[in-house]
Amino acid sequence: MEGNRDRRVGQGTDGQFFALLRSGLWNEVPERAFFASGTDWEALYRLAYAQTVAPLVTDGINRLPRELLPAEPERLDPFLGDMMATSKRNRQLDAFVPKLFDALAGIPVVLVKGQSLAVDYPDPERRQPGDIDLLLLPSAYEAAKAVLLPKATKVLEEETAIWHQGMYFRSIEVEIHGSISTLMSRKLDKKLAALLEEQFDGRPLPEVSIDGVGIPVPEADFNAVYIFVHFLHHYWAGGVGLRQLIDWMTFVSVHKRDIHPVILEVRLQDLGLLNLWKVFTGFAQEYLGCPAEKLPLAAAPDPAKNARIWRYIRRCGNFGKNVDRTRGKEAYLVRKVHSFWRLVVADRLRHFRVFPHESVRFFLGAFGYGLQRLAKGE
């Protein structure tokens, strides 16, 4: 098995990175073969940091035998510092979530992404957190805003077209989502809106325990699709990190018993996402070490496609942090045309060799969205 992974995933920093990441994900001892020729610890940290998975990689490092660790222990300080900061931040967000839901009592809302997914990690404090995301219907959106905005210490510009409002409570960012807007396809977004309506039809919702309090989250059948769509949205427009892919993989593998495969397959087929799902299950197996039996609707890995997927994710980094998008000195129209080209044309069509049908579909869908927003000066 080590030989196959060595051939597929690559040697050097990339091979070591995935060996350590798999160790952190599955509580396994890292494959020693990847470390036989020495390690560039600084390059390894940069890669782990860019993909927002440094704490998981650090867990893998802690399982390495002493002879494979650096002779200068301080070279591991960035990893340890990142892990400690991540644990502290997770505790801070976990303590705030119940207060947020207390304030929203009586308003139908669920916690999505972020802290709701961290509970499924081997150690929830190892998931590098971001903001707190709340999902609700458009009909409850204004009520939630009315409760939270007066309490916020900073209010961000609202994206009214997609029912999105961001705000800060000191250092904690909270986002209210009144829709599932991918900006990839109007037909896709319309079908996702119908699925969202079903989540709030009066049935009791499942809960996760955060800071000892039960917090409502979506049903597993819906959440599996929602998390995947969120990942695809960033993958197709602006860049994505491995953390988003790991969120999806971890959720569907932990909750496989709660996910009905027939319902999932019918929904993905209807949304036009079944092929994408199967390709990424192959990536999760080959690069992240997830056993096929843990993944709903798993397909065999395609090494050529997976290599292209990894090259794109590696180049972009989490939310595209590796991509230079500074255009501040250019005229407004030039900036908008460049943004339109990058987000609508280049980011959609770059995936054509891996996902030809979907790339054309999402290009056409985003083209329509992009023209509309450009005309409005957004």
Does the pLDDT value for residue 300 go beyond 90? yes
**The domain that contains 149 carries what CATH number?**
3.30.460
Contact of 244 with 229, CB cutoff 8 Å: no
CB neighbour class for 80 (10 Å; exposed up to 12, middle 13-18, buried from 19): middle
How far is it, in rounded angstroms, from Cα 275 to Cα 270?
11
Looking at the structure of the chain, the number of domains it has is 4
Domain ends where: 193, 218, 243?
Answer: 218
| Residue 241 sits in the same domain as residue 291 | yes
Question: pLDDT (tens digit, 9 = 90+) per residue, 175-190?
Answer: 999 999 898 889 999 9
Contact of 100 with 136, CB cutoff 8 Å: no
| Residue 182 sits in the same domain as residue 138 | yes
Does the pLDDT value for residue 254 go beyond 80? yes
| Pairing mode of beta strands 172-177, 132-135 | parallel
Taking Cα atoms as reference points, which of 32, 225, 206, 182 lies closest to residue 119? 206
Does the pLDDT value for residue 361 go beyond 60? yes
| Residue 128 sits in the same domain as residue 13 | no
Assigned domain for 78 exists: no
Q: What six digits make up the tokens of 16?
A: 């070591």
Q: Which residue has the tokens 């090494």?
A: 303
| DSSP calls for 43-112 | HHHHHHHHTT-HHHHHHHHTTS-GGGS-SSGGGGHHHHHHHHHHHHHHHHHHHHHHHHHHHTTTS--EEE
Does the pLDDT value for residue 340 go beyond 90? no
| Residue 157 sits in the same domain as residue 189 | yes
**pTM for this model (two decimals):** 0.90
What domain range is 272 assigned to?
220-323
| Residue 110 sits in the same domain as residue 203 | yes
Assigned domain for 80 exists: no
| Residue 186 sits in the same domain as residue 203 | yes
Distance of CA 231 to the CA centre of its chain: 5
CA distances from 89 to 86, 168, 227, 338 (A): 5, 15, 22, 36
Domain ends where: 218, 253, 271?
Answer: 218
Domain ends where: 11, 43, 71?
Answer: 71
For 190, residues 6+ apart whose C-beta sits below 8 A from its C-beta are none
Q: Which residue has the tokens 């092929």?
A: 275
| Residue 301 sits in the same domain as residue 378 | no
| Residue 231 sits in the same domain as residue 312 | yes
DSSP state of 238: T
Mean pLDDT within 326-341 = 53
